[in-house]
A and B are shown apart, each in its own frame.
Chain A
């Protein structure tokens, strides 16, 4: 998709005009809005007039009503409250794990690409070996044996397992940014390393990093669902995540097949959230990627 070679056509200079970029588009803004709503709910849940997600406040398996927007689950707990509180866990795992991944992998990737030489060889050979290891297996094995479960442990394990991937992406982005003329120009002008890294490289690596961050959060949220299904996520009775809710619904639907909102709402919200993250990430990437072949 990307074309890094110089065009073979003579007498024609390809110049990317910013105004020639595709407009951002309505759907992207809808996705951004959806992300913002979810983030807002996750942050503000304790202050909003939302029912207690652990309290059995009503009859079990009630349909949707004005009192219970999404109905109640098999224990009579309000599903809307559980989804709202669940967003705190799911988003917390997604953002927390990526914060660790970027916090370690980002600086290391930039450092390796900037210094090159022996440091790059040493770091890269470790990271690429780790990358070959199927991380889901390591995550499952470690979490299943590390008692007692807690949110912090899940974030830590998933976050650290994402470090090699982040390292690879950031290193590649820094390498490609570092080979540009403006870096040479900055050097010729006598800029110090610190200035080059923070004022020249970082702003050019940031868009790639940001779009990868969004994909990463989406992947981790899905991964948390997998862990919840395997019973490796946090205890669903203390604080449910979206994955916990879908897993609960799957089990209770055998007894109460008429209570379909129980599975539709959490899974739809999870998928739409991942969709929005993927879409915005994709748009960001093509928006900033000036080398992409435009059709």
Chain B
């Protein structure tokens, strides 16, 4: 098992190096002139040379990459060429928002998917099973950007619930307020959670559908195994069989799916954030793309890609702990 993890870890490091090279050269190979986007009308040959020398862009590409990587390894992602703001600060402000949306949406998705899948799997091809199966298949075909548009139309425009629409995002308050200004703290938490309703719902619907379908079909397969028959003949209650005997083995498949799905949510939440003007990583990336802020794009892409891969790796790790048979291949 240890050998398996070391092998996986080496692969992880290799992939991260490959991604750093990828996000660096992807930006370099693109058409578009950095000098124009920074200097604007002042883009004369002399100014350009001076700018490139200052930013270290007059050196060779390999040397530029190594310099960038050296800083990144020391935990410094650099400064924006355009606003001058430290990229560490920008990402530090954006990342918690992504994490909050993902956290909330996953809680909602699991809280709905697990009980419903249990109910559906008890009587495969029964009325509830067919209905829920059909409905989730339909939902699977509704892209998240359409879900957001309709949620905004229904919740924010038709029902006019204040604080839910685009642009109403409120940050999570500083924890210090809890002791200095408790009332303000909880009011701000309330505002924050209200503004999270639409993004949470939008992302949780997609996750719910996937989790429900995976867990349902896995449960149906598990329920046909001999140890379930054994448990039934021992006279155990149906509830106990479902939770203790069927859910545990089936949760391995659920966990694996969740890993892939959460990784995808980081990248896939971009449109949701864009439509609702939420300043998460998606918002940061799209804003820097609009400004042609090359180093911010490069660093954000790198951070997001590494985050996705580390999440997948962690889920892999947990799955192997739950079901050690995986490490044997």
Interface size on A, residues (CB 8 A): 38
A271 to B266 Cα, complex, angstroms:
23
Residue among A263, A272, A274 making CB contact with B149, cutoff 8 Å: A263
Contact A136 B270 (CB under 8 A): yes
B62 at the interface (CB under 8 A from A): no
A126 to B115, CA, bound (A): 41
Cβ-neighbour of B141 out of A133, A144, A145, A275 (below 8 A): A275
A132 within 8 A of B: yes
Residue numbers in A under 8 Å from B26 (CB-CB):
138, 141-142
By CB atoms of chain B within 10 A, which of A132, A138, A142, A225 has the most?
A132
Cβ contacts A57-76/B at 8 Å (1 or 0 each): 00000000000000000000
Q: Does B95 contact A (CB under 8 A)?
A: no
CB within 8 Å of B: which of A219-269? 222, 225-226, 229-230, 246, 250, 253-254, 257, 263, 267
A-B contact count (CB 8 A): 112
- From 165 to 221 in chain B, residues with beta carbon under 8 angstroms from any chain A beta carbon are 217, 220-221
Enumerate chain A residues within 8 angstroms of B14, measured Cβ to Cβ: 129
Closest CB-CB distance, B145 to chain A, in whole Å?
5
What secondary structure prevails in chain B residues at the interface with A? helix
Residues of B within 8 Å of A138, CB to CB, are 22, 26, 301
Identify B289's interface contact among A132, A141, A263, CB under 8 A: A141
Q: A146-B30, A270-B146, A278-B140 are in contact. List 7 more A-B contacts (CB 8 A).
A: A129-B14, A132-B312, A137-B305, A142-B26, A145-B30, A254-B157, A257-B157
The list of the 9 closest CB pairs from A to B, nearest first, reads A275-B141, A222-B143, A134-B267, A144-B289, A274-B141, A145-B30, A129-B18, A136-B267, A145-B32
Query: Which B residues have a C-beta under 8 Å from some C-beta of A?
Result: 14-15, 18-19, 22, 26-27, 30-32, 124-125, 137-138, 140-143, 145-146, 149-150, 152-153, 157, 217, 220-221, 263-264, 266-268, 270-271, 274-275, 285-286, 289-290, 292, 297, 301, 304-305, 308-309, 312
